[in-house]
A and B are shown apart, each in its own frame.
Chain A
Amino acid sequence: MSVPETLLPTACATPPVRFERGQREVFCGLTGIVWLHRKIQDAFFLVVGSRTCAHLLQSAAGVMIFAEPRFGTAILEERDLAGLADANEELDRIVGRLLERRPDIRMLFLVGSCPSEVIKLDLGRAAQRLDRAHAPGVRVLSYSGSGIETTFTEGEDACLAALVPAMPQASAAQETQLLVVGALAEIVEDQFRRIFAELGLRNVAFLPPRRAGELPPVGPNTKVLLAQPFLSATVAVLERRGAHRIPALFPLGAEGTTGWIRAVANAFGIAAARVTAVTEAGERRAQRALEGLREELAGKRIFMFPDSQLEVPLARFLSRELDMQPIEIGTPYLNRDLLSAELALLPAGVPIVEGQDVEAQLDRCRAARPDLTLCGLGLANPLEAEGLATKWSIELCFTPIHGYDQAADLAGLFSRPLARRARLRV
């Protein structure tokens, strides 16, 4: 693979970044509903879209196991488009019936899709109207998960950004609050809660909350810590409400988790000795758990297709803690600001490709013959059939991977495909 000379870094501070435009092979932001609805346990996600949107959700959810899932699609039909039916009346009718059937729902998201956006259905206004109509029992909010506006994890960003205006104002007199932002598995959230408590932080909140009624307050006394790298819009609206972001590594791997916690400690002026006391055990546990995996993965070359925006922190983790060798880091979007600490730790000279041209990427991937390829579900089996080992990237969003005690699970996602290939004799 060749990188235009002009883009090669003069000093290693900024890795080479190339922008690519062509066919993209990434899900749209609707996909986030699959994990968000499990996180906020009394929320319902109503996509206003087409049969395609409904089918995407169903296919991404993979398993059709829920009796009545807390997500659904209001499918636009010909009469809605022809203006024979008033879209707003239709929406009111569907929402009314839905809430009647599901009295357990406390928060309803109207989620915009490509079709709703192209026909300029104003879901923001619809949400306001429905919010008034169903107050105080149910909050109604809206955001866009459309494929023309959002790529995969940007759906979560849009959803969390929509929650921010609904958050109460934190009183200025209150103790400084740490707000951890980004959907995390409950088990991980609880681990982090314990760590922050040990640091002596008494005012810690998480966004999104587990229940609609538990939206944390926000204000100038709020310090924001991102748990996920793809939350630029959410950060922007939080900052508008006076909050300050703590720049940090992301809590992937032992080093990432310690860096993340240290950044908090610095921001809150906590003594270094205390931080070490709190992080030491977890860090050592993670490192020990990673040892065997490092033996398996060291020196292995990995090619990363763009997918979740987790690629940069992942490449940092894989290269620094497992001695893997990233040969191309694809990302649908690169937020240099949020990722500055991460970018500084990447091995020198690894090309970062922002955007996507899937055919060109496949050509480069085939030519490079990496030991492992991180890619989406549409590409994995075809690449396997060509003899390339793959890891599906969507698992990174469905599995707990953050924090010390998940570091080995995260590494395991990458070692398993290789171990399996080594074992199979057929």
Chain B
Amino acid sequence: MELALWTYEGPPHVGAMRVATAMQDLHYVLHAPQGDTYADLLFTMIERQGRRPPVTYTTFQARDLGSDTAELFKKSCLAAYERFQPSALLVGSSCTAELIQDDPAGLARALKLPIPVVPVELPAYSKRENWGAAETLYQLVRAFAGPAATQPRDPRSCNILGPTALGFRHRDDTREIRALLEGLGIRVNVTAPLGARPADLARLPEAAFNVILYPEIAHSAASWLQRTHGQPFTRCIPIGTIGTREFLAEVMQLADLADADVSPEALRAPWYARSVDSNYLHGKRVFVFGDATHALAAARVATEEFGFTLVGLGTYSREFGRDIREAAATYNVPALVTDDYLAVEARITEAQPELVLGTQMERHIAKRLGIPCAVISAPVHVQDFPARHSPQMGFEGANVLFDTWVHPLMMGLEEHLLSMFREDFEFSDQAAPSHLPQSSQPAPAPAVPLPAAVATGWTPEAERELMKIPFFVRGKARRNTERYAADRGIGQITVEALYEAKAHHAR
């Protein structure tokens, strides 16, 4: 048993639902009790889908147990087939049905429906949402990807694999990447699962290679296509300017195209990062947490494209823990691989970042600690489905990253002016960036006391002196001073010690 207060991922059948809901003409019959129908609201409320997920739940009850849950499953399959007339059926169990062992695969097959039935077995007591999505996509691809194409493949053709329903900006990423590929003269053969029909999956082998946007979801299907149909797949993730350039270089190579520089005029992020106003972004301490793909990309963009300093890197995607550990080692920061939200909170508190790039959960942590935050990864919230086109990937995605990561921070010039006028009586330390509402002000008292504040003693004078230091560098000054004091065994931090430490760190 493991105690969970909040979870980063749902159960694996929610992953299967994300695939089924992304697709068309496919219906999922899920052997599950009534409460599991809550999952519909993820799609209809959070993603604001205007149609119900294509899922029939058997909603067995206690009185059905031991007698006719299997019969109920068959009845539900038949009813779903007749009502929705899908071209294929996905069948499986939720956590409770897994325990009663009704064998949805066998039961559905026994019905001899005139359409293909694809069973997905998703071990609910060891696996999670992303794994469930990956496994479902893999099973569907295996079931439908037809025989290897007989005609020679057009080298300038690819599939896009990975985007699902309820994905973090999947809709917009797909549009962006598709446009980039088409701009290079590469034809997108099939995009899956988003928008695909089972019949489209049959055409997957016709493309020369696969583009995988979200390895958490698409990697197993892409590996199988490589093994079985000899289709190579991309490894670069097109997040950030550099990531996108590398991705395009990789794609051009796979498509047998001569290397060309593709930097559209509309790419503004690199120039914005170089403009003088952005000097104030320099060295900002940033903590990154999310699914592995987005966390790795964010760490890179933050350091190489924003000039931030990484102070922590982590993921809840245990399957990709190694990648995160390796990356963290190169940044010389501790890696955090966990789905324990309290552990993440403790680490953020300890790292005292000036910006958190995380999921909706970290947004709440950051809000409580009064630290600016931008969301870079699922789990998602209704806000993560903006009305406008807002990709994370591609060149437009790089622009979006610039805007969304800088937005919660103080604008450069504004920060500068604040520090100039901080002695004025109008000045308030608590001033929020002028473009943000008051509510985004730091919470008065962090839920968890800053560790340093209790560890070392500050004399009242030194504490007052510290308060004269601009608040956006105060945390750093406090940390540096305390480290200085600790290293030298100074128990009481006086004004003297504060300036000693300042001089020491300035060297």
Contacts and interface: CB of A to CB of B under 8 A. Distances in A.
B95 A24 contact: no
Interface stretch (B48-56, B149-157, B269-277, B480-488): B48-56
Contacts of B438: none
Interface stretch (B59-67, B188-196, B237-245, B313-321): B59-67
B50 A54 contact: no
Interface in A29-56: 29-31, 46, 48, 50-56
A338 B182 CA distance: 66
Q: Interface size bucket, A side?
A: 35 or more
Interface in B311-359: 342, 345
A60 B35 CA distance: 11
A72 B35 contact: no
Contacts of A376: 37, 41
Contacts of A29: 35
Interface stretch (A6-14, A85-93, A218-226, A401-409): A85-93
A72 B38 contact: no
B459 interface: no
A149 B62 contact: yes
A26 B6 CA distance: 22
B96 A114 contact: yes
A59 B62 contact: no
A296 interface: no
Given A51-B10, A52-B95, A64-B361, A77 B33 contact: no
A81 B3 contact: no
B58 interface: yes
B318 to A, nearest CB: 13
B51 A118 contact: no
Interface in B79-93: 79, 83
A282 to B, nearest CB: 35
A196 interface: no
B267 interface: no
A53 B125 CA distance: 12
B2 interface: yes
Contacts of B40: 25, 377-379
Contact of B14 (A55, A77, A93, A117): A55
Contacts of B41: 59, 376-378
Contacts, number: 182
B110 interface: no
B121 to A, nearest CB: 14
B62 A382 contact: no
B42 interface: yes
A91 B1 contact: yes
Given A118-B96, A119-B99, A24 B34 contact: yes
Interface in A380-397: 380-382, 384-385
Given A94-B1, A381-B48, A30 B35 contact: yes
Contacts of B368: 67
Given A51-B11, A80-B1, A23 B95 contact: no
A55 B364 contact: no
A55 B7 contact: yes
A367 to B, nearest CB: 15
Contact of A117 (B7, B11, B57, B62): B62
Given A50-B96, A50-B124, A73 B4 contact: yes
Contacts of A147: 33-36, 59, 96
A115 interface: yes
B4 A72 contact: yes
Interface in A55-88: 55-56, 58-60, 64-65, 67-69, 71-78, 80-81, 85, 87
Given A115-B99, A118-B100, A148 B126 contact: no
A377 B99 contact: no
B45 interface: yes
A118 B65 contact: yes
B5 interface: yes
Contacts of A309: none
B97 to A, nearest CB: 9
B159 interface: no
Interface string A107-150: 00000001101110000000000000000000000000011110
B44 interface: yes
A423 interface: no
A28 B33 contact: yes
A214 interface: no
A260 interface: no
A25 B7 CA distance: 23
Contacts of A30: 35
A97 interface: yes
A51 B8 CA distance: 10
Given A28-B34, A381-B44, A87 B1 contact: yes
Interface residues of B, number: 57
B76 interface: yes
A59 B1 CA distance: 21
A77 B125 contact: yes
B284 interface: no
A380 B367 CA distance: 31
A30 B38 CA distance: 11
Pick the most buried of A27, A359, A378, A385: most chain B CB atoms within 10 A of its CB.
A378
B3 to A, nearest CB: 5
Contacts of B116: none
A381 B49 contact: yes
B94 interface: yes
A118 B52 CA distance: 29
Contact of A377 (B5, B45, B59, B94): B45
B3 A74 contact: yes
Contacts of A382: 44, 49-52
Nearest to B360: A64
B123 interface: yes
Interface in B356-410: 360-361, 364, 368
Contacts of A234: none
B83 to A, nearest CB: 6
B128 interface: yes
B447 interface: yes
A77 B42 CA distance: 24
B128 A51 contact: yes
A59 B44 CA distance: 12
Contacts of A319: none
Contacts of A75: 1-4
Contact of B51 (A46, A380, A385): A385
B202 to A, nearest CB: 29
Nearest to B48: A381
Interface string B427-452: 00000000000000000000100000
Given A74-B2, A118-B99, A26 B44 contact: no
B185 to A, nearest CB: 38
A56 B35 contact: yes
B447 to A, nearest CB: 5
A70 to B, nearest CB: 10
B56 to A, nearest CB: 6
30 contacts: A23-B76, A24-B34, A24-B57, A25-B34, A26-B34, A27-B34, A28-B35, A31-B38, A50-B95, A50-B125, A51-B7, A52-B96, A55-B7, A55-B39, A58-B6, A71-B5, A74-B3, A75-B2, A75-B4, A77-B125, A85-B1, A114-B95, A114-B96, A118-B65, A148-B60, A151-B34, A377-B41, A378-B44, A381-B50, A382-B52
Given A56-B38, A76-B125, A379-B52, 16 more contacts: A26-B35, A26-B37, A28-B36, A50-B125, A52-B96, A55-B11, A59-B41, A67-B368, A73-B3, A77-B1, A80-B125, A147-B59, A380-B45, A381-B44, A381-B48, A382-B50
Interface of B: 1-7, 9-11, 13-14, 33-42, 44-45, 48-52, 56-62, 65, 76, 79, 83, 94-96, 99-100, 123-126, 128, 342, 345, 360-361, 364, 368, 447
Interface of A: 22-31, 46, 48, 50-56, 58-60, 64-65, 67-69, 71-78, 80-81, 85, 87, 90-91, 93-94, 97-98, 114-115, 117-119, 146-149, 151, 359, 376-382, 384-385
